[in-house]
Chains A and B, each alone.
Chain A
Amino acid sequence: MKLWKKVAVAGTTLLAAVALVACSGGSSSSSTASSKSGSVSGSVSLWVDTTQVPFYKTIVKNFNKKYPDIKVKLTQSPNGSANAKTDVGKDPAKAADVFEVPNDQLGQLAESGYINPLSPAAEKTVKANNTSVSVDGVTWKGKMYAFPFAEQAQTIYYNKSKLTAEDVKSWDTLTSKGVLATDFSNSYNFYPVMFSAGTELFGKDGETLKGTTANTEQGVNALKWLAAQKSNKGVMQTSNALNQLKSGHAQAIIDGPWDAANLKKILGDNYAVAPYPTINIGGEQKQMQAFLGIEAFAVNSHTDAKNQKAAAALAEFITNKQSQLIVYEESGQIPTDKATQASDKVASDPVAKAVMVMSKPGYSTLMPKMPQMATFWDAATPLINGAYTGSVKEAQYTTKLDAFVKRISKAN
């Protein structure tokens, strides 16, 4: 029996020790950071999309010129930045120290504690250099959580041998003179009609839980507009608009800058791009809106305390003016840095010009950052598509919109 006592005593002591170790190990807060100021050192990993690995290699090389003591491990992210939330969520400890996020996932990542806010110093630089809308895009509850580097908004791409620049200024002339191929089953394309109609999603700031006003007369107007497109001969529902444009069945499509290179190839000399047209909604001519997305790099909160500074330095560098220009040149992503936007190269690019117009207030609405955005995508898509196909009848609009708002406004 004595043996047991000993074991018990030893066990409890060890238990206490283990508990201590486990707790401090579980959170990466055990700050053992040395107070070495000046040159930053460490070793950090970086996730980018598979096809972007080559040019990020160049950027990292540039980074190492400035920070020779930071070792960077550049790899492709498992399922692309669009799935950052799931990839990081699967195992945040195994995710890269710096990774790319679209801003609609920012709130959830921040709320879950997956990413760290920017230091006040970094916040200041980002604010000074980047457009104010991109800063808003990465701010959550008063703190900035990521370094913005690109803005995305869809625009109209059209065949200029068939349509003139004047034609694409209004949806009605556009679709009467030509055919626009698009996909209504993607709420990223058509939920913004709700904004044109005058409703708000999670308030003006995109952070107000009860701020959705879709269940109003304006919301009903938007659904009516969608329903009307079903009988519009100039609007073609397709799962692959690019193909319809190429085969000549359509003369215009709605697409984002990520497809611009392909579009140039397909349309050749007839390639043209323009901001969204105006639409007639509820009897009034309104600017058709798009979602404005901000792509940004965030720092993993699981990163060791000693590497936090290095990770932040990397995130800041790969989103600075020089890097944004490289990203723009290599993949056509529209920069958020004010000076880069103003540079000759960017300012003379029709795609960049159109996207920059679209990023202005009135043309687009910043994607809200609420964690509820996940529910939003799930709920909005069948609603928008249903209104277009007619499976949601006009008589049901109010009840469906009420249910939609109720579902996305749940705190828990």
Chain B
Amino acid sequence: MFKRKDKKPPKATYKEVWSKGGWASKLSFFLMGVSSLKNRQWVRGIAYLAIEIAFFAWFVMNGISALSMLSNLGAIKKKQLVFDKQEGVYITKLPDNSVTILLFGVLAVLLLLGIIFLYVTNLRATKKLYIDNRDGEHVETNMEQLKSLFDSRLHTTLMTIPIIGILAFTVLPTLYMISMAFTNYDSKHSIGFSWTGFQAFGNVLSGDLAGTFFPVLGWTLVWAVCATATTFFFGVLLAMLIESKGIKFKGVWRTLFVIVYAVPQFVSLLLMAQFLDPQGPLNNILMNWGLIAHPINFIGASASPLVARITVIVVNMWIGIPVSMLVSTAIIQNLPQDQIEAARMDGANALQVFRSITFPQILFVMAPSLIQQFIGNINNFNVIYLLTGGYPMNNNYVGAGDTDLLVTWLYNLVFGQTQRYNASAVLGILIFILSAVFSLAAYRRTNAFKEG
């Protein structure tokens, strides 16, 4: 974005457009689209004008108040109880609803940025029209413009709706979440809350939640590494087993494993939790066979943390290996065979071939998707929430258990007993920083890998 190729020096400055342009050019600085209209680019002109009118109508009606209320998130913070004598009932005068004030404030800021963006494109269009007219060049007609939406401006056509969707359903909520981290939005300030700066960050990093945050963070990282590595490594092994010479009905074997992945997780994991219960089927089978004398508490509330963590990783292998097997199969089938042949000729055995040729090649191809998987595992809500619910309990933690990841803890803080929305927003930001740092570092390394 910094190296813009063959950029010609501007043929005119905005100053020139303003001072030398006709009335339409001048007016375009206030009323978007006027110069387009003057040049008979009806659709574009009307669109600009209509957007501006709509914006100002909205701005005057709601925008100003939405923005001004953003400064303190509503003036009334405390509820008030009044007795309505006439009706004989109590009535609660509620605080200003900071949730909607914040949301619509953020929305107003976004709309403001949007109109500024459109204003800039409007100026740019005005300048282009000015130059074309000044130099006597061809001015785009209305029809040409419309047609260009399917040719040189195809990206506009393809991207507009998706971008609106992303703005409304991803950007706006994300900005809202980020701003929530700087408030005191929790169960005690559930309707009217205010800005409190970095206080919530302090709670998480050094306050009452710190004793939970750092251990949970540690386990999240351990989990992400183990979960990614085990599913990848054993997936490759399984793929090689199925692909090895002499095995018939390869497709059937693959399908048998894929079934597990295909079953919706909220079914397979919720029931897996019961399968592993101390009094559940697995323990019953093992006891009937005489393999164990006492039931093993795999993932219950009072299981041993280590057992539970290992169980979680193993169950994740159960779900994850089939996918990674499928993907590795595709890669193995496309691996160049000459190197392997050559190594065989030199007398390398299967293990050596695997260790020094096949595996590195698969790793090389899979590296980017492994990074994605790693980040996916940091945020792997389903496996933990559905399987253990964070159990076993840990009496040193606040609102989390031994297998809780940052993301399930975040969920507990929002929907659990103590609704600490601001703390969970802080966690969201920290998870983001974590993911960003890891993926950046990893992408750097893989790039270096590729170049070197």
Contact = CB atoms under 8 A, between A and B. Distances in A.
| B is bound to A | yes
B277 interface: yes
Q: Is the interface of A mostly helix, strand, loop or mixed?
A: helix
B243 interface: no
Contact of B84 (A31, A85, A92): A31
A312 to B, nearest CB: 6
A64 B295 CA distance: 56
B187 A185 contact: no
A153 interface: no
A385 B96 contact: no
A59 interface: no
Contact of B187 (A33, A301, A371, A386): A371
Contact of B91 (A183, A237, A305): A305
Interface string A371-386: 1001101110111011
B82 interface: yes
A86 interface: yes
Interface in A310-361: 312
A7 B56 contact: yes
Contacts of A268: none
Contacts of B82: 29
B20 interface: no
A239 B301 contact: yes
A382 B397 contact: yes
Contact of A375 (B91, B97, B418): B418
Nearest to A390: B302
Nearest to B396: A382
A111 B220 CA distance: 36
Contacts of A29: 82, 91-94
B302 A113 contact: no
A378 B417 contact: yes
Interface in B60-86: 60-62, 64-65, 68-69, 74, 76, 79, 81-82, 84, 86
Given A27-B94, A184-B302, A22 B65 contact: yes
Nearest to A411: B188
Nearest to A3: B30
A27 B91 CA distance: 10
B306 to A, nearest CB: 12
A18 B279 contact: no
B395 A377 contact: no
Contact of A33 (B74, B86, B97): B86
Interface stretch (A116-124, A170-178, A214-222): A116-124
Contacts of A85: 419
A89 interface: yes
A81 to B, nearest CB: 15
Contact of A238 (B86, B90, B278): B278
Contacts of B94: 26-29, 113, 301-302
Interface in B392-418: 393-395, 397-399, 401, 415-418
B302 A18 contact: no
B395 A382 contact: yes
Contacts of B56: 7
Given A27-B94, A391-B395, A112 B89 contact: no
Contact of B97 (A26, A183, A184, A309): A26
B145 interface: no
B190 interface: yes
Q: Which of A3, A183, A185, A239 has the most CB atoms of chain B within a 10 A radius of its CB?
A: A239
Nearest to A108: B187
Interface string A11-25: 100110011001100
B279 A244 contact: yes
B95 interface: yes
B61 A33 contact: no
B300 interface: yes
Given A15-B64, A19-B65, A185 B418 contact: no
Contacts of A383: 395
Contacts of A115: 92
A26 B395 contact: no
Contacts of B188: 111-112, 371, 412
B87 interface: yes
A51 interface: no
B60 A116 contact: no
A385 B393 contact: yes
Interface string B372-402: 0000000000000000000101110111010
Contacts of A240: 277, 279
Interface in A62-121: 85-86, 89, 92, 108, 111-113, 115-121
11 contacts: A7-B60, A15-B68, A23-B96, A29-B91, A31-B84, A143-B90, A239-B278, A244-B279, A308-B87, A312-B89, A382-B397
Interface of A: 3, 7, 10-11, 14-15, 18-19, 22-23, 26-29, 31, 33, 35, 85-86, 89, 92, 108, 111-113, 115-121, 143, 183-185, 237-240, 243-244, 301-302, 305, 308-309, 312, 371, 374-375, 377-379, 381-383, 385-386, 388-389, 391-392, 400, 407, 412
Q: 10 smallest A-B Cβ distances: which pairs?
A: A185-B301, A113-B79, A382-B395, A301-B92, A382-B393, A374-B417, A389-B302, A386-B395, A29-B93, A117-B90
Interface of B: 30, 56, 59-62, 64-65, 68-69, 74, 76, 79, 81-82, 84, 86-97, 187-188, 190-191, 208, 277-279, 300-302, 391, 393-395, 397-399, 401, 415-419
